[in-house]
Amino acid sequence: MSKVRLRLSGALMFAANLVGYLTGFLFTVFITRRLSEEEFGVWALIGSFIIYSLIPFNLVSSWISRDAARGKKIAGSAAALFALLAPISIIIYFLMAFGSAAAINYDPWTMALGVIILIPYIFLSLGKAIQSGYAPQNLGIARILFEISKVIIAFYLVVMMRSGLIGVFITMALAYLLQGTVLLYSSRPLFRKEVNKDLIFKWLKGTPINAVLVLSNVLTATDIVLMGLIIGKAVVAGYWQAAVVSSALVTSSSVLTLGLGPRLLSGGTQKDLDKAFSFSMLLIIPLFSGFLVLSKDILWILRPTYSGAWIAACLLALRGVVKSLGNFGAIALSGTDRFDQDEKISMRDYLASRIFLVNKINLTLTSLYIVSVAIYLFIAKNLVSDIIELITSVAAISLLFRIADAMIKLKLMKKLTELRINLKNTKDYIVASAIMAITIYILRMQIGKLSAKAIKATPPILMLIVVGALVYVGILYLMSRRFRDLLKDIYVFLGQYL
């Protein structure tokens, strides 16, 4: 049986994301201050190439997760399938790396060396596929270990040893290997020596359905590649990546819903959706509000020249908020779909499923987004010389398509399921967040211009973040009885382990 704890899985993943944002931000400061803008752009492009290379595994991962959520002993069969797909993944990476090196005029062998990140990521993908269905709270624990180890290794290799881009590659490879090992170790209860060929065939049979979703995800990572290849400069990708990294905590807030899908698959109700939505908004709204005030400063810490991208970063953060809302519609549609409970399923069953419907929506809108970005870049290539203007326009296009995506999914949720979004508690969160943002803004005006050195610029911004968090919690504690009850629940839960 799946070991899903709804708010715990969401809380752990948020804690992991918070740790991940802070350590990831520190890691990014290490590399942005040690790598040139071009090298940082190359690093961002390699991240997209790894996403392309994971296509074979992503085609089957969701089916593995769904069977793991039902408590089936599928780990051995999943490992066998991943071993068969690994060579295909590595070939895809080399094709992408060598093919793009000429377009941006960069050393192809340096880009090819990024494969050392891909190999441990394959093990990590296997662990994620199993644990996201079986015990999603373990993903948060493993993520925290990954983020902490990444910073420690990067400090030694990138900062102390000044090993440059190669040091970044080695850092990520070792950190991913640790994270994957933790998840696979936690998957031992689902291991069985025998390989179930019927299960493997079932997962492979579902790849045409997942192909739609996977292609959509790959296209999502293509915007940064288009910017580098069409404009012909890796530095454009560097500025875009800076905006993405700075807004990462807000844009990745959709992980707060991580436990909802498995819970609905195992018989969850409207009450579970209400819990997940309320908890998500409790954190998403203040995160976005605070980021609007501090976005320029956060980018300044990465590298002063990146601070001009603050509008693009805010648009990407808003896109993350909208994505979180749309995710509730997508999860409600897929989590209440029971078409794959039997071992043998026909292609007709897949094509008639809500999962396929959601995937079609993702692919259609993402394809239109990428086409729109490509058209804009081709037109702007000779008309717009300002990198900031380029990435801000792409961010605005991205936001418009994400709004359309969320509206469609929420409308389908209302039409095809009995689940509904309850906005009752968001009023308190909005008021408390507004007071917090105003407080942060007033205090920020007293600080003045930040130092160009990251080590001097960071402390006052961290202080503002801490003050903002305290103001938000204090105001909400006074306003919301539900929030006070949540704090009591957290206290009781922590008391079991202290």
Q: Which pLDDT belongs to residue 467?
A: 96
| Higher local confidence (pLDDT), 434 or 37 | 434
Q: pLDDT band at residue 250, thresholds of 50, 70 and 90? A: confident
Alpha helices, H only, 448-495: 454-479, 481-495
pLDDT score recorded for residue 422 = 82
The residues, ordered by sequence, that sit 6+ positions from 453 with a Cβ below 8 Å of its Cβ are: none
Q: What pLDDT does 118 receive?
A: 96
φ/ψ region of 4 (left if φ > 0, alpha if ψ in -120 to 50, else beta) reads beta
DSSP helix/strand/coil, 101:
helix
Supply the DSSP symbol for 46: H
Beta carbons of 124 and 179 less than 8 angstroms apart: yes
pLDDT of residue 1: 43
% the chain with pLDDT above 90: 51
End-to-end CA distance of the chain: 28
Across 428-446, average pLDDT:
96
DSSP assignment of 252-269, as one string? Answer: TGGGGGTTHHHHHHTT--
CA distance 76 to 192: 6
Q: Over the chain, what is the mean pLDDT? A: 87
pLDDT at 394 over 90: yes
pTM for this predicted structure: 0.82
Low-confidence winner among 261-265, 368-372, 415-419 (lowest mean pLDDT): 261-265
Q: What pLDDT, on the 0 to 100 scale, is given for residue 266?
A: 66
With a cut of 60, say whether residue 440 has pLDDT above it.
yes
* pLDDT tier at 383, thresholds 50, 70, 90: confident
Looking at residue 4, its pLDDT comes to 44
Question: pLDDT band for position 18 (50/70/90)?
Answer: low
109 or 260, greater pLDDT: 109
Considering only CA atoms, which of 386, 381, 257, 382 is closest in space to residue 331? Answer: 257
Q: What is the pLDDT of residue 374?
A: 96
Contact of 363 with 212, CB cutoff 8 Å = yes
* pLDDT tens, residue by residue, 468-487: 999 999 999 999 888 887 77
Residues 272-280 have a mean pLDDT of 81
Amino acid at 19: V
The answer to whether residues 35 and 168 touch, using CB atoms and an 8 Å cutoff, is: yes
Hey, what amino acid is at 135?
A: A
pLDDT of residue 262: 66
Residue 491 — very low, low, confident or very high, per pLDDT cuts 50/70/90? confident
What string of DSSP letters covers 215-232?
Answer: HHHHHHTHHHHHHHHHHT
Question: What percent of the chain shows pLDDT beyond 70?
Answer: 89
Query: Which has the higher per-residue pLDDT, 343 or 427?
Result: 427
Query: Which helix (H) or strand (E) is 342 found in, with range?
Result: none
Task: Indicate whether 380 pLDDT > 70.
Answer: yes
Q: Which two tokens stand for residue 4?
A: 């899903």
